[in-house]
Chain A
């Protein structure tokens, strides 16, 4: 495997379900990100981890719970979601999150989430 992988690619869940999204990067990076992409809206940054420490939580509801056990893996645990949480969830990684303006982020293919 190379780059950034995400599983599952598609997920349909009910509002009372608990599920987790997984992201893995094989690039030796130290920063990982979760983004939410809704139709016709700019990407929304949800969480940032730098060297396994959470450095950003952009006012994300507590029904989204991130976990970063090491620099290569990132999880997003989902619990009692709402239909408006249906979106494409993208994971990204970069060398680290505090490098200067040039800090290319590499993205995974995303998980298309539908909440019924």
Chain B
């Protein structure tokens, strides 16, 4: 079974609009972390934001925020006031705390295209 699901293979959004990228996860581990990475066409993975399973508040980093709904096991990324430079692939990933090898488990990604 997939542990990280990103249901949107691609999205088109008008510049300056907010965009929500979906991510649902599956784990029985009470201690885990959720990550979002951005991958521009250049190839490099860029860390955006992190949410820990015990964090009481939703994580925010500048224009990025994470809509963390623990009961629903969802960790959607919200980008406010989108810019042309936000066009990229976006990956959700999870790291389980009790897993002995602490591997990052990745979703398949969402391709976001910002239209001028």
Contacts and interface: CB of A to CB of B under 8 A. Distances in A.
Q: Do A and B bind each other?
A: yes
Interface string B39-62: 000111111001011000000000
Given A42-B4, A90-B43, A106-B47, A101 B101 contact: no
Contacts of B95: 101-103
A92 B31 CA distance: 23
Interface string A81-116: 000000010101000011111111111111010000
A110 B108 CA distance: 18
B103 interface: yes
B55 to A, nearest CB: 10
A112 B43 CA distance: 9
28 contacts: A40-B108, A41-B108, A42-B4, A42-B105, A42-B107, A43-B106, A56-B103, A90-B45, A97-B101, A98-B102, A99-B102, A100-B33, A101-B31, A101-B32, A101-B33, A101-B52, A101-B53, A103-B33, A103-B95, A103-B102, A104-B35, A104-B47, A104-B50, A105-B104, A106-B47, A107-B37, A109-B42, A112-B43
Interface residues on B, range: 20 to 34
Output the residue of A42, A56, A99, A106 with the most chain B CB within 10 A.
A42
A58 to B, nearest CB: 8
Q: Looking at chain A's contact residues, is the secondary structure mostly helix, strand, loop, or mixed?
A: loop
Interface of B: 4, 31-33, 35, 37, 42-47, 50, 52-53, 91, 93, 95-97, 101-109
B102 A45 contact: no
A17 interface: no
Interface residues of A, number: 26
